[in-house]
């Protein structure tokens, strides 16, 4: 069965939570939902979130030889930063970037990793099917956090997908650059790597950022999209793929789990700071 087709879709919308909503809360939320949905305590859930001026780093980024120089630069530019628990490298989150997490239960057969990526790709294609542009899934060399499921239009990346698996729950996460300058975001990450790596050789290959290969959906579709516009498109697609779509928040079971997962995220980032 297509993963997008679920008997119920619960939507937890945190896209307008504002500047004081920290990314640590988001990653703890997805872990909580994975555990709850994996245990059968909740239905499949779509969580949407926006964070202001935040750089999310991957584990590999923390091994950069001059990391502190790069982090100091980000602070000077007015950005917060944290290390996430799913794969990938540094990405930019701001008011023009909508994040969507689809959290499914992993049934007996399991969910093949590509199936999770394909479900998200299909969702985004469906959301923008009224435009004539083709949305491709392939690595865009020169982008930040490159991967085989970079989503692009005309060779320019506007989204990246990652996955998190925990306690029989699967979270497929995407950041969608909705509006603003994709190349300006890429320039920021380019400068971060320039300062944090310098010319020092590293075992891990960090991307050589080419800002021109990244753009926002507004730029690529030549239309002024807002976060609200994209939220409406998302809700319409989830409604078409379920018998029952409802807005909700964490239930009692999840509220009991959340503090433990939040503490783990804080601990992980405290170690990086140290």
Positions annotated as catalytic residues are 145
Strands 6-14 and 242-247: parallel
- Give Cα separations from 156 to 169, 205, 232 (angstroms): 32, 21, 24
* Nearest CA-CA partner of 214 in 145, 121, 131, 129: 145
Angle made by CA atoms 81, 51, 208, in degrees to the nearest 5:
50
SS3 26: helix
Where on the phi/psi map is residue 208: left (φ > 0), alpha (ψ -120 to 50), or beta?
beta
* Nearest CA-CA partner of 124 in 92, 146, 102: 102
């Amino acid at each position: 069965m297509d993963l997008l087709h679920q008997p119920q879709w619960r939507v937890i919308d945190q896209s307008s939570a504002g500047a004081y909503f920290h990314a640590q809360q988001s990653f703890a939320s997805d872990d909580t939902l994975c555990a709850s949905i994996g245990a059968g305590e909740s239905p499949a859930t779509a969580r949407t979130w926006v964070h202001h001026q935040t750089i999310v780093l991957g584990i590999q980024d923390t091994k950069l030889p001059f990391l502190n120089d790069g982090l100091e630069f980000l602070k000077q530019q007015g950005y917060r930063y944290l290390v996430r628990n799913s794969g990938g490298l540094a990405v930019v989150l701001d008011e023009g970037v909508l994040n969507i997490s689809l959290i499914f239960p992993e049934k007996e057969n399991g969910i093949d990793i590509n199936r999770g990526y394909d479900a998200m790709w299909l969702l985004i294609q469906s959301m923008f099917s009224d435009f004539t542009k083709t949305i491709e899934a392939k690595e865009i060399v020169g982008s930040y956090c490159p991967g085989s499921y970079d989503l692009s239009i005309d060779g320019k990346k506007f989204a990246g997908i990652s996955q998190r698996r925990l306690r029989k729950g699967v979270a497929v996460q995407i950041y969608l650059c909705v509006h603003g300058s994709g190349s300006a975001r890429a320039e920021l990450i380019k400068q971060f790597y320039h300062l944090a790596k310098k010319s020092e050789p590293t075992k891990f290959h960090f991307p050589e950022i080419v800002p021109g290969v990244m753009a926002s959906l507004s730029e690529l579709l030549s239309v002024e999209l807002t976060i609200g516009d994209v939220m409406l498109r998302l809700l319409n697609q989830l409604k078409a793929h379920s018998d029952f779509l409802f807005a909700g928040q964490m239930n009692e079971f999840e509220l009991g789990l959340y503090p433990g997962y939040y503490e783990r995220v804080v601990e992980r980032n405290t170690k990086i700071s140290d």
